Amino acid sequence: KVTFQPFRSTLMAATMLICFQAVARADDAALTSSQFADANALYGTHCAACHNGDRLGGMGPALLPESLTRLRGSMLNDVISNGRAATQMPAFDQVLNKTEIDLLASWLRQPLSETPSWNMANIIDSHTVFVEPNQLPVKPKFTADPLNLFTVVEAGDHHITILDGDTFTPLDRFPTRFALHGGAKYSPDGRFVYLASRDGWVQMYDLYSLQTVAEIRVGVNTRNVAVSDDGRYLMAGNMLPHTLVLLDARDLRPIKQIPVDGDHGQSSRVSAVYTAPPRQSFIIALKDFPEVWEISYADTPQPVYPGFVHNYEANMVEALDVQYGPFPVRRIRLDDGLDDFFFDQDYRYLVGAARNGRDGQVINLNIGRKIADIALEGMPHLGSGITFEYQGRPVLATPHLKDPKISVIDMESWETIKVIETLGPGFFTRSHENTPYAWVDVFFGPNKDAVHIIDKRTLEIVKTLRPEPGKVAAHVEFDRSGTHALLSIWDDDGAVIVYDANTFEEIKRLPMKKPVGKYNVFNKITYSEGTSH
């Protein structure tokens, strides 16, 4: 019998911890000790009830420098003053004066005096199963093709829209935790979608019955999650604390917390976690020392489900190591640190951007060392690169975050075979096996509203769209058949635009609140070469 109690954890945790005093470093040069004390008191009175006394989040999100980086300039002050539309964050401009709001905002940008911990007990305690997996219906409650659904992340008000990919009509819209980041990940059969928020929450949603099944908080600041290709495991990578957390993908129950420790007592933030299906392993990119980790989930005993629960409160990690064991960590030591990764379709090669911003490196994962350097100036955004065949050879196309260009690289010789000039640096590229075109956005600069369409056969730009002048147009995803391309107008008053992928004609415009990413079930579960994995 599953013993988790629905709905028990989050609100309780939020209210129980109000009595904790928020702590940050008093010696920070930006604030005097009396300002520091004043801010601490303001926080205790006005913020702790929702964000927790320790600033790690409760009903509201965590308020740590790590989670506030995207609120640049005075944006944090504005949120405190005016609140957040469509959330429970109220406006404080009638309660606090400007000096108090500015002080509070500066104080929230100070790090905590100690790295916050989030251990296995916290993880277990945060776990909620809303619907027992064995109570879920066998069939979808709609007639649309369940493999042609899209999960659209609406960052404007922290919601997900589930879109029918045949008719492009929404099937459901539901709230998520604060600030989802990274791609939505699916179970291999396409039934469940897993979402990770920047402040550590993982949500599991059933696409057949259109409801949330479970959620759990795996860390204080989380990077992303990956699902094993056999559908048994979910691996989450954290920035805070420096850990990996392995979950059972059937209801998110925690299996194991793995510290990311180096040789000399140091530990590392996790840059990203990926699934490598042909290797039956998770590949983990580290930020703070030059290593890539590979954790195999092959040859592990079949988990006893849910028989281990009677031992649950005892010593979970050890008990479950025996049940699931052993998840060995293979540490691949590199000469240099790498950022932003890309894999070939066989997952033999890993391409990473070197920290010097000039080169890319190719690592052969089988032999565990660098085998080639690639000339890649201008901060390539390899994570959103795509592969396709050009003149009989596999190539990789990647945008650059600093330079207005797309690099096309031969994946056999690792030579750059073409640099396609664009109207500005881009963020995402997308294509599909059934279309001759690749779509790339111009994310930065005066032409941020432009999207280029490149012919994969000639490597020439054949069309430039400007669907909403002045607003960023970015992140394309194709439907299952590759006949439609969906593009985001990246704005609170934004939209998802559906295009005919052959004629580039607009077919439909669905209003949405800053729809950042969208993910087609079929393309993701088949690891399409035109989309992110």
Considering the complex, state which of residue 155 and residue 160 has its C-beta at the smaller distance from ligand DHE. Answer: 155
**Joined tokens for residue 232:** 């048994």
Phi, psi of 387 (to 5 degrees): -115, 150
In whole angstroms, the minimum distance from the beta carbon of 489 to ligand DHE comes to: 14
Q: Considering only 105-113, 178-186, 303-311, 385-393, which stretch makes contact with ligand DHE by CB under 6 A?
A: 178-186
Pick the binder of ligand DHE from 42, 235, 516, 521 (CB under 6 A): 516
Considering the complex, state which of residue 48 and residue 521 has its C-beta at the smaller distance from ligand DHE. Answer: 521
- In the chain, count H helices and then E strands: 9, 33
Considering the complex, state which of residue 260 and residue 516 has its C-beta at the smaller distance from ligand DHE. Answer: 516
Which residues, 6+ apart, have CB-to-CB distance to 75 below 8 Å? none
Q: What angle do CA 29, 70, 106 make, to 5 degrees?
A: 25
In whole angstroms, the minimum distance from the beta carbon of 414 to ligand DHE comes to: 22
Residue of 157, 187, 243, 152 lying closest to 477 (CA atoms): 152
Distance CA 265, CA 398 (A): 36
Does position 411 interact with ligand DHE (CB under 6 A)? The reply is no
In whole angstroms, the minimum distance from the beta carbon of 32 to ligand DHE comes to: 30
Considering the complex, state which of residue 448 and residue 475 has its C-beta at the smaller distance from ligand DHE. Answer: 475
Does position 517 interact with ligand DHE (CB under 6 A)? The reply is yes
Tell me the torsion sign for CA atoms 45, 46, 52, 53. negative
Q: Considering only 75-83, 110-118, 181-189, 403-411, which stretch makes contact with ligand DHE by CB under 6 A?
A: 181-189
Does position 183 interact with ligand DHE (CB under 6 A)? The reply is yes
Considering the complex, state which of residue 109 and residue 181 has its C-beta at the smaller distance from ligand DHE. Answer: 181
Q: Considering only 129-137, 176-184, 240-248, 259-267, which stretch makes contact with ligand DHE by CB under 6 A?
A: 176-184
Considering the complex, state which of residue 36 and residue 159 has its C-beta at the smaller distance from ligand DHE. Answer: 159
Does position 272 interact with ligand DHE (CB under 6 A)? The reply is yes
Distance CA 305, CA 299 (A): 17
Considering the complex, state which of residue 5 and residue 69 has its C-beta at the smaller distance from ligand DHE. Answer: 69
Identify residues 115-154 at the interface with ligand DHE (CB under 6 A).
none
User: HSE-up of 355 (CA within 13 Å, CB side)?
Assistant: 11
Local structure of residue 516 (DSSP, 8 states): E
In whole angstroms, the minimum distance from the beta carbon of 55 to ligand DHE comes to: 19
In whole angstroms, the minimum distance from the beta carbon of 514 to ligand DHE comes to: 9
Pick the binder of ligand DHE from 58, 116, 182, 404 (CB under 6 A): 182
Residue of 231, 137, 239 lying closest to 196 (CA atoms): 239
Number of residues assigned to the chain: 533
In whole angstroms, the minimum distance from the beta carbon of 48 to ligand DHE comes to: 26
Local structure of residue 69 (DSSP, 8 states): T
Residue of 434, 374, 358, 444 lying closest to 404 (CA atoms): 444
Q: Considering only 15-23, 177-185, 303-311, 392-400, which stretch makes contact with ligand DHE by CB under 6 A?
A: 177-185
Q: What angle do CA 244, 246, 247 make, to 5 degrees?
A: 140
Distance CA 188, CA 422 (A): 36
Which whole-number Å values give the CA distances from 191 to 67, 129, 165, 285, in the listed order? 30, 17, 15, 28
Binding mask 459-478 for ligand DHE (x = CB under 6 A): ----------------x---
Does position 218 interact with ligand DHE (CB under 6 A)? The reply is no
Is there a contact between 167 and 150 (Cβ–Cβ < 8 Å)?
Answer: no
Is there a contact between 432 and 528 (Cβ–Cβ < 8 Å)?
Answer: yes
Binding mask 383-402 for ligand DHE (x = CB under 6 A): xx------------------
Is there a contact between 116 and 71 (Cβ–Cβ < 8 Å)?
Answer: no
What are the residues binding ligand DHE (CB under 6 A)? 69-70, 155, 181-183, 224, 272, 383-384, 475, 516-517, 532
